[in-house]
Structure 1
Amino acid sequence: MLKEFKEFALRGNVMDLAVGVIIGGAFGTIVNSIVNDLIMPLIGIAFQADFSNLYVPLSDKVAKGLPLAEAKKLGPVFAWGNFVTVVLNFAILAFIIFLMVKGMNSLKKKEEKSPTPVEPPADVKLLTEIRDLLKK
């Protein structure tokens, strides 16, 4: 069983998968920062609101206008703004991933379409030159 595990763990696909998961986790952090720190503040400015703190109080103990974290301490709230924020984050993340996949696909297509020209061997060059001279 140990031998089989060793063969499985050292197989190339497993290592590629491990590298992909690690890089994916790091990339996820970058994308979250882009969404939370760059895009969402712009959306908040455009709508004159911070979606993450929008809620409807479900109890008389909760006053409107409090930050969501404080309102949750006082009683139940319907945090619809937080849900909107999460949905927007997902949509932006999905769009960014779509653009990345589209870019990678176009690079692959470009690479497939433009193969590097292979230089003919010396004897073929010589025969081509002889043919061209005979035509003249």
Structure 2
Amino acid sequence: MFKEFKAFIARGNVLDLAVAVIIGAAFGKIVSSLTDDIIMPVIGKITGGLDFSSHFLILGKVPAELAGSSDYAALKKAGVAVFGYGAFITAAVNFVILAFIIFLLVRSVHKLMDKPQEPAAEAPPEPADIALLREIRDELKKRPTV
């Protein structure tokens, strides 16, 4: 069983996948930072100071020490049931940005890669009468001349 596992792990595809997951996680953090620290504040400024991450509805009972609090993270950490539509909007924007960047990346790679040469079209099979005429010609060439 250990040998099978070792053969499985040693495959190129598994190693490539592991590298892709690690790079993808790091890339996801970069996109999250781009969204949270750059894009959403600009959108908030354009919309008059609207900060999507702090928009939520309280659905459950709030503990006395957090009464009147507008800190989404603190309420969520305290176990209060909150409907965090602002966090969802931020996550949706993250997804759209990530999907667009991946689209641009894949498109660029496809443009850089050489397009595979299409195989030459095979010649259509020779008609039977032409093949017969060739055989007759070849046989006549083989005969000694008198």
1:51 aligns with 2:67: no
User: TM-score under structure 1 normalisation?
Assistant: 0.64
Q: Once the two structures are aligned, what percentage of the paired residues are identical?
A: 48
**SS where residue 115 of structure 2 aligns?**
helix
Structure 1 unmatched ranges of 5 or more = 114-136
1:10-89 to structure 2, matched below 5 A, reads 10-48=10-48, 49-58=50-59, 63=68, 66-70=70-74, 73=78, 76-89=81-94
C-alpha displacement of 1:51: 0.5
Structure 2 unmatched ranges of 5 or more = 117-146
Which residue type is aligned with residue 67 of structure 1?
A: D
Alignment partner, residue 116 of structure 1: none
Aligned length: 110
Greater percentage in helix = 1
Structure 1 window deviating more from structure 2 (76-85 vs 36-45): it is 76-85
C-alpha displacement of 1:92: 1.7
| Contact preservation (8 Å) 1:59, 1:75 | yes
CA RMSD in angstroms comes to 2.7
Compared CA separation, residues 11 and 32, structure 1 to 2 (3 A): same
C-alpha displacement of 1:99: 1.5
**SS where residue 87 of structure 1 aligns?**
helix
- Write the distance in 2 (CA, Å) between the matches of 1:27 and 1:60: 38
- Write the distance in 2 (CA, Å) between the matches of 1:28 and 1:67: 25
- The structure with the larger Rg is 2
